[in-house]
Structure 1
Amino acid sequence: MELSLLLHDLHLSPCSSSSEKPLPSPSLPPITELLSRLQDKLIGASTDSETSSLIGRVEQLFRTADPHWLFSPNSASQDDGWAGLRAAYGSLVSAVTGCAALPLCEDDCGSPSAAAYQSLPARAGPVCSALRALLGTLGNWESGGGARGGQTGLLLTVAPPICVFAVTHFQDQAWTSSSSRAAAQSLQEALLKAGRWRDSAHLLMGGGSQDAEREEGGRTSRGILGGVLDVLRPQLTKDSWQRCEAVKLVFAWTLLQVTRPSLSPHLHLLLPPSLLLNDHYRPENCMLGVRCLHHIVLHTPAADLRQFNRAEVLYQALFKHLYTTEAAVIQPVLSCLLDLLLVLEKPPSSLAPSSPRRKTCRHDDVLRLVLTHMEAENKVALRRVYAAALPPYIDRMGVAVCRHLRRLERVVLGYLEVTDPPEETSRLKILEVLQKTSRAAWPRMACRVDVLLRCLLKLLVDVSSDSQLGDSVRQKLMNETSLCIKLLDGCSQGALQPLLQQVDSSCCSPEVLSCLATVTTMTKR
């Protein structure tokens, strides 16, 4: 009865079929004609109530109609029939998801107001329900044999736009509510179930030959990454990506699901949008872009990154961020650069001392700029970021850190003099830097022992008398400082022993004397 009413409302005649092939039910029109009429109705709906009614009828159609009629072509030519059917379903799904599409920004300088998103959660729920009905019926029909043994391509046609819609609405954003997020998450689960994909990564990348052999019914497992990128591509251009608040989030979600070896073939589609995000002036977009670029660096073969000078482009795009004062941006940039530099050049620590290639390189450029900024930095957040990022760069440099000892000494002295309560993160990291430097460049540290020792002894005295420090933090600071003194004593070939033994006990607390006694005892052994 519902289907008859729908056909009547759409002005479809039961005898309008011109197919030479008999239909599952001779009283029903071609499904492609019905889908086309539904699409036109959805696009032309002028009120929310009319749209909601149409979506409800779409859901009822997919829940009650004969699957053989819904998913069988109505053309004498099988190839033309399947192509037309896939196009009809793709257009209908686009029209259905468009009923809950986000409003576009008028320019690239702001976002729509909260009022513009107010009706979206209520519209997204029925859309998710209708699409779940389609996926449930289509998935059961294809897994049950369907036409061509389940290889109709219909699911792979509708999956990309449905996936994009689900990802848009299951994120905690201004255009979603708890109910709409739950509905979108349920839609994503229905999509995975319909295609027998294990998870979102499998949905996008598909499986290899072994996975295909394990699939029930022998159906090959294919991913929809290319289809999702085709859906997103028109919105990811330089002039359009900022007009829709969701497109960057959907793109980032998609990219971060893809790993080796599936990322490399799509690199030409994934890299440009990531660079656009990275270059944006808003910190949140910039951080998202850096995160995408870092994922690309980690999951793309070095040879592919070096091809067409891509790695150099990435390096220049990231290096310019070292001049920013946003701690939230600097932190991921320094982490990404550390991995990208391995693509561009060999680490200085791996080169032999006599190697002709032991000359200044990009590692030096990054470390030099970081140390220069650290010297003058007075913001606590940035000092912590720089201090935390410095130890792995010292490790990477190895003995080549000798080129930067003068700047590094000034940074160590400056950071150890300033407290960083309550966890003393900056001081602890700088002590770690001093330890790594002493081990890597010990022949060049002897001339710096005097000034560094005075700073470390002062640090011991200050820490021991600081009542605001927790016991665990105080003990850790004193232990790390004692280790630094021990390493400096080794760099000077034991020259610190007489000085440490002459420390006046009346000027130091028992804790300081205990630390110094531990240093001299360990050194003698």
Structure 2
Amino acid sequence: MELSSLLHDLHLSPASSSSSEKPLPSPALPPITELLSRLQEKLIGASTDSETSSLIGRVEQLFQTADPHWLFSPVSANQDDGWAGLRAAYSSLVSALIGCAALPLCEDDCGSLPAAAYQSVPTRAGPVCSALRALLGTLGDWEAGGGARGGRTGLLLTVAPPICVFAVTHFQDQAWTSSSSRAAAQSLQGALLRAGGWRDSPHLLMGDGSQDKAEEGGGGRSRGILGGILDVLQPQLTKDSWQRCEAVKLVFAWTLLQVTRPSLSPHLPHLLPPSLLLSDHYRPENCMLGVRCLHHIVLNTPAADLRQFNRAEVLYQALFKHLYTTEAAVIQPVLSCLLDLLLVLEKAPSSLAPSSSRRKPCRHDDVLRLVLTHMEAEHKVALRRVYASALPPYIDRMGVAVCRHLRRVERVVLGYLEIRDPPEETSRLKILEVLQKTTRAAWPRMASRVDVLLRCLLKLLLDVSSDSQLSDSVRQKLMNQTSLCVKLLDGCSQGTLQPLLQQVDSSCCSSEVLGCLATVTMTTER
């Protein structure tokens, strides 16, 4: 396709060379902004898929064959106005190209569209990726080669955010992608990284921090595009609009999870509200995605910034209410996030001095109390496993302050050790760990509970030793951890358990159980 043919089809006439700051190539060409504007109009107004595909192909060939100086040089005598107009023209054209492969929107906030609604998207995304790759290749070479103000045109930083959003949308394994469209999007993302000299996706978003962020019109190199991406996503991340396009939440989460401290904190006002919206949704998959985003924010934001404007308290309230859900997949990330968030809100009870206001009850107590209460009545295996796995770090965090919850802890330990949890016995093993941590932290208060706990542990040893459904490795783990618990209880009771245990013989238990008890009577751990 000859460039003159494209100009003829678009009804564009050559311009005189006096309108440009440098001589135009021969033959004389119209201002590039006029051509870009006409191409944008054609792309938006295309009525058939074939017409759209033809236009995209011609745009690709334009970027592959045209003179870079003509493509990327302003035509206005005023330099600032010229560059601003050129950036706006390219931004509009890129938006029009991306719109050719836009995802259909839900008519309401019901959630998702059927897979058939996305049937034509992959075939339209491929040509768009190809055209955008051609643009990035030519623009990247032009700026890297010192074209126009030493590569500081700002064009790359203008087109990079929407192109990145488009690439991320289409390289994920979703209903609107195919293997070929995902490969094309991955290739587009690679072309974007090469064009700006970015090492990887985090560097693309955050840059290297060495360049003045306030510098206007800077080139893409060394600068991140996180702010630009958030500007692209922001209109779609409102309470009323984020559910209309399924890809928006995925692109937002992908972006957020790439950003670490210290780059995350300056963008917190734009990152926190969408994360809270996602976490508050009734669909578990959206809720989990939101909680994952919130946890990433907690881990990568200074505590002072989280406490500012009462953000940490808002996060705490948003997460705490999820403890009433019955979805195991939601409870697990919520408890993990809360554990880290609580250190932002208050000091760990275990780190407080004994004279520190007598370790007044705090949010740690509120969370642990609610978790233990739910554990007592829980009968679903999946939830029991989640609760049991999450409990040890909370007991660790409480330290001696766990004394306030000993009655609940005891009931949970007794209840969970009685119920089998094949094949890995996750719940029992974690509860034995809880008992060990509790005994070590609150040993002066455990002496009065030794009798009931010992009966439970001895019964567990007998049950495990005779359970033929357990693998040898799991059986050995259970018996070893149970023996350790008995040792710790013996230490709390000043060795009063040893005479009782020495009276046990082969008439009432197996040699395997006797071997475990022998380890207790030989040494006592304090």
Mapped to 2, the partners of 1:210 and 1:226 lie a distance apart of 15
Tell me whether 127-136 or 10-19 shows the greater mean CA deviation: 10-19
Paired residues for 1:116-515 under 5 Å = 116-209=117-210, 221-356=222-357, 358-515=359-516
Question: Would you say how many aligned residue pairs link Structure 1 and Structure 2?
Answer: 521
Mapped to 1, the partners of 2:20 and 2:96 lie a distance apart of 29
Question: In 2 relative to 1, CA 473–211 (structure 1 residues): closer, same or farther, beyond 3 Å?
Answer: farther
Kindly indicate whether the alpha-carbon contact (under 8 Å) linking 2:15 and 2:31 is maintained by their aligned counterparts in 1: no
Shift of 1:22: 4.3
Mapped to 2, the partners of 1:342 and 1:14 lie a distance apart of 67
Question: In 2 relative to 1, CA 357–495 (structure 1 residues): closer, same or farther, beyond 3 Å?
Answer: closer
| CA deviation map 1:442-481 (0-9, x unaligned) | 0000000000000000000000000000000000100000
Mapped to 1, the partners of 2:37 and 2:259 lie a distance apart of 35
Question: In 2 relative to 1, CA 510–261 (structure 1 residues): closer, same or farther, beyond 3 Å?
Answer: same
1:19 aligns with 2:19: yes
Structure 2 residue runs of 5 or longer lacking an equivalent are 214-218
Mapped to 1, the partners of 2:169 and 2:358 lie a distance apart of 49
Kindly indicate whether the alpha-carbon contact (under 8 Å) linking 1:192 and 1:198 is maintained by their aligned counterparts in 2: yes
Kindly indicate whether the alpha-carbon contact (under 8 Å) linking 1:391 and 1:436 is maintained by their aligned counterparts in 2: yes
2:7 corresponds in structure 1 to 7
Shift of 1:523: 2.3
Q: Which amino acid aligns with 2:12?
A: L
Mapped to 2, the partners of 1:304 and 1:151 lie a distance apart of 33
Shift of 1:505: 2.2
| CA deviation map 1:128-184 (0-9, x unaligned) | 000000000000000001000110000000000000000000000000000000000
Tell me whether 128-137 or 499-508 shows the greater mean CA deviation: 499-508
Q: Tell me the TM-score normalized by structure 1.
A: 0.97
Secondary structure, counterpart of 1:308 in structure 2 = helix
Tell me how large the CA RMSD over aligned residues is.
1.7
Q: Which amino acid aligns with 1:3?
A: L
Question: In 2 relative to 1, CA 479–144 (structure 1 residues): closer, same or farther, beyond 3 Å?
Answer: same
Kindly indicate whether the alpha-carbon contact (under 8 Å) linking 2:303 and 2:344 is maintained by their aligned counterparts in 1: yes
Kindly indicate whether the alpha-carbon contact (under 8 Å) linking 1:17 and 1:30 is maintained by their aligned counterparts in 2: no
Mapped to 2, the partners of 1:210 and 1:414 lie a distance apart of 60
Q: Which amino acid aligns with 1:241?
A: W
| CA deviation map 1:222-259 (0-9, x unaligned) | 00000000000000000000000000000000000000
Secondary structure, counterpart of 1:72 in structure 2 = coil
Mapped to 2, the partners of 1:362 and 1:16 lie a distance apart of 74
| CA deviation map 1:341-391 (0-9, x unaligned) | 000000000011121161100000000000000000000000000000000
Mapped to 2, the partners of 1:252 and 1:403 lie a distance apart of 39
Shift of 1:210: 9.1
1:74 aligns with 2:75: yes
Secondary structure, counterpart of 1:242 in structure 2 = coil
1:100 corresponds in structure 2 to 101
Mapped to 1, the partners of 2:281 and 2:334 lie a distance apart of 14
Shift of 1:54: 0.4
Question: In 2 relative to 1, CA 524–347 (structure 1 residues): closer, same or farther, beyond 3 Å?
Answer: closer
Shift of 1:75: 0.6
Question: In 2 relative to 1, CA 219–337 (structure 1 residues): closer, same or farther, beyond 3 Å?
Answer: closer
Mapped to 2, the partners of 1:401 and 1:519 lie a distance apart of 25
Mapped to 2, the partners of 1:153 and 1:405 lie a distance apart of 63
Shift of 1:211: 12
Shift of 1:276: 0.3
Kindly indicate whether the alpha-carbon contact (under 8 Å) linking 2:106 and 2:245 is maintained by their aligned counterparts in 1: yes
Mapped to 2, the partners of 1:405 and 1:319 lie a distance apart of 22
Kindly indicate whether the alpha-carbon contact (under 8 Å) linking 2:63 and 2:138 is maintained by their aligned counterparts in 1: yes
Secondary structure, counterpart of 2:159 in structure 1 = helix
2:216 corresponds in structure 1 to none
Q: Which amino acid aligns with 1:54?
A: L
Question: In 2 relative to 1, CA 426–234 (structure 1 residues): closer, same or farther, beyond 3 Å?
Answer: same
Secondary structure, counterpart of 1:523 in structure 2 = coil
| CA deviation map 1:493-522 (0-9, x unaligned) | 101011101114201000000100111012
Mapped to 2, the partners of 1:487 and 1:15 lie a distance apart of 91
Kindly indicate whether the alpha-carbon contact (under 8 Å) linking 2:104 and 2:117 is maintained by their aligned counterparts in 1: yes
Shift of 1:21: 3.5
Shift of 1:110: 3.0
Tell me whether 355-364 or 98-107 shows the greater mean CA deviation: 355-364
Mapped to 2, the partners of 1:22 and 1:8 lie a distance apart of 24
Structure 1 residue runs of 5 or longer lacking an equivalent are 213-217
Kindly indicate whether the alpha-carbon contact (under 8 Å) linking 2:388 and 2:430 is maintained by their aligned counterparts in 1: yes
Tell me whether 187-196 or 220-229 shows the greater mean CA deviation: 220-229
Mapped to 2, the partners of 1:116 and 1:52 lie a distance apart of 20
Kindly indicate whether the alpha-carbon contact (under 8 Å) linking 1:348 and 1:397 is maintained by their aligned counterparts in 2: yes
Shift of 1:303: 0.1
Secondary structure, counterpart of 1:243 in structure 2 = coil
Question: In 2 relative to 1, CA 56–357 (structure 1 residues): closer, same or farther, beyond 3 Å?
Answer: farther
Shift of 1:17: 7.6
Mapped to 2, the partners of 1:181 and 1:315 lie a distance apart of 38
Question: In 2 relative to 1, CA 226–211 (structure 1 residues): closer, same or farther, beyond 3 Å?
Answer: closer
Shift of 1:208: 2.6
Shift of 1:16: 7.2
Q: Which amino acid aligns with 1:207?
A: D
Kindly indicate whether the alpha-carbon contact (under 8 Å) linking 2:491 and 2:525 is maintained by their aligned counterparts in 1: no
Q: Tell me the TM-score normalized by structure 2.
A: 0.97
**Structure 1 segments (4+ residues) deviating >6 Å:** none
| CA deviation map 1:59-106 (0-9, x unaligned) | 000000000000000011111000000000000000000100100001
Q: Which amino acid aligns with 2:6?
A: L
Q: Which amino acid aligns with 2:164?
A: C
1:215 corresponds in structure 2 to none
Kindly indicate whether the alpha-carbon contact (under 8 Å) linking 2:171 and 2:182 is maintained by their aligned counterparts in 1: yes
Kindly indicate whether the alpha-carbon contact (under 8 Å) linking 2:17 and 2:28 is maintained by their aligned counterparts in 1: no
Shift of 1:20: 5.4
Mapped to 2, the partners of 1:50 and 1:220 lie a distance apart of 36
Mapped to 2, the partners of 1:24 and 1:18 lie a distance apart of 9
Shift of 1:419: 0.2
